[in-house]
Amino acid sequence: MADLITYREAVAEGIAREMRRDPSVVCLGEDIGAAGGVFKTTVGLLDEFGPGRVWDTPISEQAITGAAMGAAMTGLRPVAEIMFSDFLACCWEYLANEIPKVRYMTGGQVTVPLVVRTANGGGLGFGAQHSQAVENWVFTVPGLKIAAPSSPADLVGLTAAAIRSDDPVVVFEHKGLFASKGAPAPPDHVVELGQASVIREGSDVTLVALASTVRTAVEAAERLAAEDISVEVIDLRCLVPLDVRTVLASLERTSRLVVVEENPYQGGWGGTLVSLVADEGFHLLDAPIKRVASACVPLPFADALEERVIPTADGVADEIRALAAY
């Protein structure tokens, strides 16, 4: 079996594969060149592709996203890095008002094939301004696609699909997963946007997860297997397009749904998912739907506090036990 690679290495691998394939792919962001990125996710790109395709920028989140947009409208496929997803607030104008709207409001005259990639989420003790899971911010905006991979191979495959997409895609790379390892992606690996993956089959409860919560979900499922509760784990992989069909198909087997999200319960993506299930799959359900999400507080610093806020495998397992007994 081939050596495992880290999620961190998969970032650069995914980008490099596309840069080799398509000369219109260019990268920009703070410290992404010689420094290789603050998370070392762009190591090697400058060496391989040179300064004409890997551009260090000033600390100008608006200029980064705005310039990426202008370049995407005029023939390039920019991959813009926003170092921490919290900083999307500094260029929210482009994510909320410009990039998703320009094609629509011009009646389809322009396309914006760009990728914004950003390190998302908590678990590393970076405190309230460098730890949030903000995929739900982007999920509020029609016109943006969203990928949030949980494994190195998916990261490569979704990065390929995101860069090839003629639509704008925000790729959330999870900070807590950078050091995790997995099988390398096969050559030419592309994971189509909007296809969830059933990563563990089960018959009692469907557990839907995304990015870092996939690990949490699998841990909970393994624990419950020992108690004879069979949990099906679905990794959504993308929020837009949202693969509702895979969730509904799973519910035909399990009739019970738990969703585990890292973003806060308040306004979290699970709210939209479960409302669709309630609308379209109510007849499939034998129990109430449960959402396990982060507590509605800013992310605290100390480990003992952070652990109380972000969903844990224990917490998820408790919810599933209660639901299985319903």
Partner 1 sequence: MTAASDSPASTGAALGATELLALYEQMQVIRRVEKAAHDLFMSGLVKGTTHLAAGQEAVAVGASAALRPDDYVFATYRGHHHALARGATPQECLAELMSRATGLCRGKGGSMHLTKASTGMLGSYAIVGAHLPMAAGAAWSAQLRGTGQVAVAFFGDGATNIGAFHEALNLAAIWRLPVLFICENNLYMEYTPIDTVTSVTNPAADRAVAYGLPGHVVDGNDVVLVHDTVAGAVSRARAGEGPTVIEARTYRHYGHSRSDPAKYRPADEVERWLAHDPLTLARTRLESLGVAAAELDEAETRASGIVDDAIDAAKNAPEADPAEAFTDVWADGGNTWRT
Residue 174 a catalytic site member: no
CB nearer to partner 1: pick between 15 and 185: 15
Instruction: Compute the distance between CA of residue 285 and CA of residue 174 in angstroms, rounded to an integer.
Output: 32
- Is 65 one of the binding residues for partner 1 (CB under 8 A)? yes
Which listed residue (50, 97, 278, 322) binds partner 1 by CB under 8 A? 97
If we measure between CA atoms, which residue out of 314, 244, 301 comes closest to residue 272? 244
Residue 61 a catalytic site member: yes
Smallest separation, CB 284 to partner 1 (Å): 16
Rg (CA), the chain: 19
CB nearer to partner 1: pick between 198 and 276: 276
- Catalytic residue, candidates 9, 30, 61, 135: 61
- Is 167 one of the binding residues for partner 1 (CB under 8 A)? yes
Smallest separation, CB 114 to partner 1 (Å): 9
Residues 6+ away with beta carbon under 8 Å from 304: none
- Is 82 one of the binding residues for partner 1 (CB under 8 A)? no
Within residues 101-160, the interface with partner 1 by CB under 8 A covers 102-111, 113, 142-143
Per-residue contact flags (x/-) with partner 1 for residues 266 to 285, judged by CB under 8 A: ----------x---------
Tell me if 212 sits within 8 A of 236, measured CB to CB. Answer: no
- Catalytic residue, candidates 130, 173, 262, 306: 130
- Is 60 one of the binding residues for partner 1 (CB under 8 A)? yes
Cis peptide before 241 (omega within 30 of 0): yes
In the structure encoding, which two tokens stand for residue 197, read together? 């993956």
The full length of the chain comes to: 326
Per-residue contact flags (x/-) with partner 1 for residues 190 to 219, judged by CB under 8 A: ----x-------------------------
Q: Which long-range contacts (CB under 8 A, 24 or more apart) does 186-191 make?
A: 186/153, 189/153, 189/156, 189/157, 189/160, 190/157, 190/160, 190/161, 190/164, 191/149, 191/154, 191/157, 191/158, 191/160, 191/161, 191/237
Contact residues toward partner 1 (CB under 8 A) are 26, 52, 55, 57-58, 60, 62-63, 65-76, 78, 93-94, 97-98, 102-111, 113, 142-143, 165-167, 194, 240-246, 276
Catalytic residues: 61, 130
